[in-house]
Amino acid sequence: MDLILRYLIFLSWVVIGPSGPMLWSVAVTTVGLFGAFTLRRSFQGRTIVLLAILGMMFTESLLFVLASSYVDSLRRTSTHFATASWNHLSILHTVNVGVALIGGFAAICTVLFITFRKSRLEMSRLFPRLELLEDAPVQIKETVKRIAGLAGVASPNVCLVDSGVPSAFTVRANRRFTVALSVGLLESLDDKETEACIAHEISHLKNRDFTVRLLATLCKVALFVKPLSYFIEPAIYRAREFLADRTAAELIGGPDALISALSKLKASDSLAATSPEGPMCVCNLSGGKSLLRILDRHPDIGTRIEMLREMKQT
């Protein structure tokens, strides 16, 4: 029995990372993950479940700091396990306290850096490698304002990026949200398709994705030794992209224009040539290209198009 217990604890460390030796947490995590990925088209529900798993893992880590007598209390109330097993758990407890403190400190530093440093910089300082044009066309500004009104959010700033690479992203700069569109995007898409891309970016604001994704990233930072968090965080990002697509389609009266825009972007050879490097909450229109798609924060464009086509059929 003792040997089985140790193997189960070791397995939970490998899969979930340093955590409590309580098998219920492993079971809840497993059921939660299964539930999250069976919610195939409920992206809001998937986000809630995945955030709940990260929250449980984070809370469990805090318990080791707040309840330093955790292992001793378990030992006093149990008669099943041998002394060797409890000594093993005591070592795990000590390690857990250390990594929880380090992770918590790193998360605090991260949120302070983003809130009081990155999010307060101007666009030119946030993205020094990008050449930003002074003013966007009046038609684009009016489109942004109109869609923001439909979404019920404050109208963000608008700027153009002097790049032939078709791209769009939303970022919080100088304490305000800014939608950035590349010249290449405007040249590649017609008015309806451009409107769909703008609606996608504003949908991130409507769905409060900056807050949701920041929470996911901070949990990953705090749980830096837990491998599972490195898979859950990008899964949340991908779910928010799908949700933004769906919300955008609802704002503009259907998914056709967004499907057309994404199809053109998918066909573009230069789509992934460059991607702006900035704060964690950047919303980039392009999809991921890495071999390990499970670690991509942005879903494949083909998958996004498929989801929108399914939405059209329902």
Residues annotated as catalytic (active site), given as ranges = 201
CA 170 to chain centre: 14
- Sole residue written with tokens 């409890």: 86
Cβ–Cβ under 8 Å, residues 151 and 129: no
Percent helix, strand, coil in the chain, to 5, is 65, 5, 30
Q: Of 166, 172, 173, nearest to 196 (Cα)?
A: 166
- C-alpha gyration radius of the chain: 23
Reported as half-sphere exposure (CB side, CA atoms, 13 A), residue 271 has a value of: 18
- 55 Cα distance to chain centroid: 14
